[in-house]
Amino acid sequence: MQDPYRVLGVRRGAPEEEIRTAYRRRAKRIHPDTVPPARREEATRRFQQLQEAYALLSDPKLRMALELQRRTPWRPRWRRKKDEEEFVEAFFRNLLRGMMR
């Protein structure tokens, strides 16, 4: 998962209103129904990333968990960058599952 702030194009610590506005603006521009058929697959992938980023930053609990995870002074020594990305994705996937129950 990419940095949700970068996906939405907002700064860290942005208020909810700014996040919502950025999401709506980008969603209109990259929604799969608004792009030519040749670019639809790429637009679908980007739109899904946008939705994940918005879901993460619009929920105060998830956003706080993200900030805490980013501020952790202990950093494991990863063998590969892919290991770190898989760990972060699994962490948030499990966190989301726990909150949905």
Domain 4-100 is classified in which CATH homologous superfamily? DnaJ domain (1.10.287.110)
How far are the Cα atoms of 24, 30, 65 from residue 40, in angstroms, in the given order?
A: 18, 9, 33
pLDDT digits (tens, 9 = 90+) for 7-38: 999 998 899 999 999 999 999 999 999 999 99
pLDDT for res 91 = 79
10 Å Cβ neighbour count for 76? 9
Type of residue numbered 89: E
d(CA 48, CA 31): 9
pLDDT digits (tens, 9 = 90+) for 53-79: 999 999 998 898 888 877 765 555 555
What radius of gyration do the chain's Cα atoms show?
Answer: 15
Residue 1: pLDDT band (50, 70, 90) is low
Domain ranges (residues) in the chain? 4-100
pLDDT for res 15 = 92
Q: Which residues lie closer than 8 Å to 68 by C-beta, 6 or more apart?
A: none
